[in-house]
Amino acid sequence: MSGLMDELIQDNVEISNAAKEMIKDLGDSHGKEMYDLLVEVTNLRKFVEEELHALRKNVDEVRAECHSRHASNGNASTSTSCTVVGTHNIKVPKPDMYNGTRNATMVENFLFGLEQYYKALGIVDDGAKIANAPNFLHESAQLWWHRKHAEWEKDRTILHTWRQFKAELRKHFVLHNANMEARGKLRRLRQIGSIPDYIKEFTTLMLEIEDLSDKDALFHFRDGLKDWAKIELDRRNVRTLDDAIAAAKALIDIYFKEKKTRVDEGEAFEPKEWNSKQDEKYGKTPFANRDTTPPTCFLCKGPHRTRECPKRNKLSAIVANPREEEEVPIKGTAQLGAIRYLSAMKSDSSKEPQEGGWLYVDATFNNKAALAMLDAGATHNVMNPEEAG
């Protein structure tokens, strides 16, 4: 027993020593890896700092060069002309000509385009703006400028500021009540067609109103939409006019996207293949084996359905005969009556069946043949004058 205990103790000591050696080896290797990683991070940080320093130096050089070039361009422009603030190597498109149409939107668009054109060219002097503005007037607008220019020369008065030119142009070509008219149209505006058309018309009217607040514009825009669009805007909780217009355009995109998706995902119709086991189980037959002959009337054997048979009216007239109802029933009356009805229906079977839609049909009243006129549902009777004479 003591020998066994000694062996166990010896084994335990060996296992402990082996575990300690393994832990020591792991610690040494881990410490070495951590040191190598620290060295690598330090080298990387040093490299990044050097690159940033070089990049900052290059940016400073480029900035100094830009400042020097800008200063040289500014000096050259001020020495050549006092109306140009800088030189540009871009081609600026000219604004559209104004023909003198009395429309507030067209006047404002013309003035805005002209100001943007002057801004792109660097023209800031009011005298230069006024001197070049008549070049973009034609038709009645050019005649107006010619008359005003003659009056100013006669009175020896000129326009000194660009604001005065715009005021004179608006005074002559913009209606005095244009603001009120635009407000009335905006209040009565309703969406009749598509949302893009409504947005275009709304924005056009809104530009003609000078002091329209964003809150009022949002109210009028929402009020003119259709009910389903109002519900969508309320659900999205829009607060500004820009958000409302963007949401309305999104409704259009979603609608057309869903419609296009439904069309794209649709598959062409393909007839199902014949499954002999399953289809015969439910009493189905192949299409090639189906009877495709036209239906036959069981009354007159004509090539039409029974409900379209012209002899059907004769059967109804015989059934409705009151004299037949008063006869005393005898044995076999029902059978004989049925045979008589069918024989009456088949008496003219040799004749070709009449087409449906005629006003007169053959009928029998009290065992007398007659022509019966059907009720066509017409409200007026029209007769040929020759027949009436």
Residue 354 in tokens: 């009449």
Query: Average pLDDT of the chain?
Result: 72
For tokens 């449906």, name the residue. 356
- Asked whether 198 and 178 are in contact (CB, 8 A), the reply is no
What pLDDT was estimated at residue 152? Answer: 74
pLDDT in tens, 265-313: 554 445 555 555 555 555 555 555 555 666 677 677 777 777 777 777 6
pLDDT at 376: 63
Say if residues 125 and 82 touch (Cβ distance below 8 Å).
yes
| Residue 194 CB burial class (10 angstroms; 0-12, 13-18, ≥19) | exposed
Q: Among 259, 183, 178, 193, which Cα is nearest to 226's? A: 193
Q: How confident is the model at residue 187 (pLDDT cuts 50, 70, 90)?
A: confident
Q: Whole-angstrom Cα distance, residue 212 to residue 223?
A: 16
* pLDDT over 80 (residue 189): yes
Using left for φ > 0, alpha for ψ between -120 and 50, and beta otherwise, residue 271 falls in beta
State how far the Cα of 202 lies from the Cα of 188, in Å rounded to an integer: 11
pLDDT of 387 strictly over 60: yes
Beta bridge partners of 372: 361
Tokens of 132: 């070049």
> Using one digit for the tens of pLDDT, what is the confidence trace for 233-277?
888 888 888 888 888 888 765 555 544 554 445 544 455 555 555
Going from N- to C-terminal start, the domains of the chain cover 1-80, 104-173, 178-264, 296-325+334-372
Q: What does the buried/exposed string (b/e) look like for 254-265 if buried means 16 or more CB atoms within 10 Å of the residue's CB?
A: eeeeeeeeeeee
Indicate the SS3 state at residue 361.
strand
| DSSP of 318-335 | HHT-HHHHHSPP-TTHHH
Tokens of 304: 């039409």
Number of H helices, E strands in the chain: 15, 2
d(CA 230, CA 241) in angstroms, rounded, equals 13
Q: Please report the DSSP string for 54-81 in residue order.
A: HHHHHHHHHHHHHHHHHHHHHHHHHHH-
Q: Are strands 360-365 and 368-373 parallel, antiparallel or unpaired?
A: antiparallel
Residue range 94-150, pLDDT digits in tens: 888 888 787 777 888 888 888 888 888 888 888 888 888 888 888 888 888 888 778
| CA distance linking residue 23 with residue 164, whole number of Å | 93
